[in-house]
Amino acid sequence: MKVLHYISILLLLLSLAACKDSRIEDLTEQRVLGDSLYVQLSLDLSNNSATRANPNGGEQGDGWEYGYDYENSIYDFCLFVLDGNNINDDATTSFVAARYFNHDEVLTATTSLEEIPLKGVNKNVFSYVFNVAVPLGTENISEFIENEERLRQLRFIIAANVGNIVANVTTLGVLRDFLPEKSFEPGETIAQYSNFVMSNENDAIYYNGYGTLDSPVRLHVTIERLAARIDFKRDNYSRISNDGKSLVYQLKNSESTLLSELYLDELQIVNGSIQPSYLIKRVANDINGTNLTYLGDETPTPNGVATNYVIDPYSAQKTDANRTNTTLLTTLFGTTPTPRFDLDPTKENQILGYVNENTFDRTCTFAEYTTGVQLKCRFVPKHNYYISYDKENDALTTGTYTLGETFYMVELNTPTIDESERLYFKNKLDADAYATNTAKGHFGKVVKYEGGVCYYYVYMRHSNKVEVVHNTMEFGIVRNNIYRFSIDAATGPGTPEPDPRHPEELKARIYVKKWVSVEHPIIYV
């Protein structure tokens, strides 16, 4: 039998013209048995809030960020219905109903604007409406029609952009453990990415209706993307270079004397997980799954430190002992480096790429596992730059450094090292002579910077830290978050060759935002 099922489905058909023909075909013939409920399913409305200067842990992060059309499109989806259960029930629990909706059915959607109560506040929802069937069977339908208590026990789980998985997902446990082949489909450009897999952020919540044509069951559900996004933010600490290809950062001392400049040229994601995470989000007390909860919330303390973990399929394997496990590291991050991203200094925010969930125990926060960004820069010493050195008289001749020239840095062996204590030489011979002139009290190491090029690393933090080193979920990647970072300045040149173990020379700010959708009228997901 037919049933009207209204579903508010994020920014559903914004880029239908770009949809792939291969998604239009219905993979299996749909067959509806028995009677069905009239159901209206809506998606979450989220408020846009202010951004804080540091990542604030938990479900809210540092606020909300609007998604782009290509990130929000739904091509198809599966709907699973639980009766009298929730997502954390026994793994053998079967579904009352399960149905796949192909792309042709999505295309039949019409639009509707209505006011519904969400989180205690009436809000306007711009919905996409189309006919579907949610069969419960003749023998069960009488238990539900106009029985609010029974209707409140229904739980609706959505899996979007994964194709038809209904035949293979027969129990709740299989659904919770389901691993999509991909979390998204890459394109030639960022704007051509598609098929972002989405699933519930929480259980559907019943708020009124009796399951009849005149009074459909009305439920509310939030869905979210499995992927996360990494962005770079240009801020007021930088200026655009004269050639328009780089961002320039300056480092000054307390007397406002210019010590150095840093030209940021390229960025590249490192340790971006290529393995999709579980379809259903899971959180636990520890990385091994103690007190595991499906569709659970992160629980930060008032100062933003997380107290539980979001777990991906490999979290427990990211141990100290496995840091040299090349098979595991290749499985997680692949063998082909992420392409370098040529900076566009004119843009305020730039998407570097998309990654999957990547979490680990706080004691295993190592460069081998942590997702971050490599920055390729050119360093310009503006102080202590010398073109010659008279070793006998310990006399230095100052000069002016030209952007792009090779220089040799002497870092003296002193208790504290800051930018004002570093010396830069035009010639290796002079640098070596100065660094080894122990008779004059000099002793240090010499580092060559070919063309002035150096590398820095910024690792993505998920929640605030306090006094201790590496708190729970301090570093990590969690689904449906945008990790946006900016830099203030360098405290010295980075490493002359890529070396992910040395990120300490860069001051960075990281913002973690939830990822939502927007259209006119506004739809949030």
List where CATH 2.60.40 sits in the chain.
230-378+453-516
Query: Could you give the C-alpha distances from 499 to 268, 341, 430, 454, 496, in angstroms and in order?
Result: 13, 18, 26, 10, 8
Buried (b) or exposed (e) across 47-63, using 16+ Cβ within 10 A?
eeeeeeeebbbbebbbb
Q: Encoding tokens for residue 395?
A: 């006399």
DSSP states of 247-315 as a string?
EEEEEE-TT--EEEEEEEEEEEEES---S---SS-EEESSTT-TT-EETPPP-B-TTS-B-SEE--TTG
The confidence score (pLDDT) of residue 449 equals 97
Pairing of strands 39-43, 217-221: parallel
The confidence score (pLDDT) of residue 466 equals 59
- If one counts every other C-beta atom within 10 angstroms of the C-beta of residue 192, the result is 11
Please, which residues bridge with residue 159 across strands?
78, 199
Inter-residue contact 467 to 379 (CB < 8 Å): no
Buried (b) or exposed (e) across 5-30, using 16+ Cβ within 10 A?
bbbbbbbbbbbeeebeeebeeeeeee
Q: Is 220 exposed, middle or buried (0-12, 13-18, 19+ CB in 10 A)?
A: buried
Contacts of 32 (CB under 8 A, 6+ apart): 1, 133, 135
Contacts of 331 (CB under 8 A, 6+ apart): 275, 314
Q: Encoding tokens for residue 390?
A: 């008279």
Please, which residues bridge with residue 250 across strands?
261
The confidence score (pLDDT) of residue 158 equals 87
The confidence score (pLDDT) of residue 50 equals 30
Closest CA to 71 of 225, 276, 280, 230: 225
User: Rounded to the nearest 5 degrees, what angle is found at the Cα of 297, between the Cα atoms of 225 and 522?
Assistant: 45
**Distance separating alpha carbons of residues 236 and 348, to the nearest angstrom:** 10
- If one counts every other C-beta atom within 10 angstroms of the C-beta of residue 87, the result is 23
Inter-residue contact 130 to 106 (CB < 8 Å): yes
**Distance separating alpha carbons of residues 457 and 448, to the nearest angstrom:** 19
The confidence score (pLDDT) of residue 440 equals 93
Inter-residue contact 309 to 472 (CB < 8 Å): yes
End-to-end CA distance of the chain: 31
Inter-residue contact 401 to 387 (CB < 8 Å): no
The confidence score (pLDDT) of residue 232 equals 93
Inter-residue contact 448 to 408 (CB < 8 Å): yes
The confidence score (pLDDT) of residue 28 equals 27
This model's pTM is above 0.95:
no
Closest CA to 374 of 443, 454, 439: 454
473 by DSSP, 3-state: which?
coil
Domain 230-378+453-516: which topology? Immunoglobulin-like (2.60.40)
The confidence score (pLDDT) of residue 387 equals 98
What values do phi and psi take at 73, rounded to 5?
Answer: -70, 140
Please give the average pLDDT of every successive group of 10 residues along the chain, which has 525 residues.
33 31 28 47 38 49 69 84 83 86 73 54 52 54 74 83 94 96 92 92 70 68 87 88 92 87 94 96 95 90 84 98 97 86 83 96 94 94 96 96 97 74 95 95 94 94 74 92 87 88 72 62 29
Inter-residue contact 108 to 74 (CB < 8 Å): no
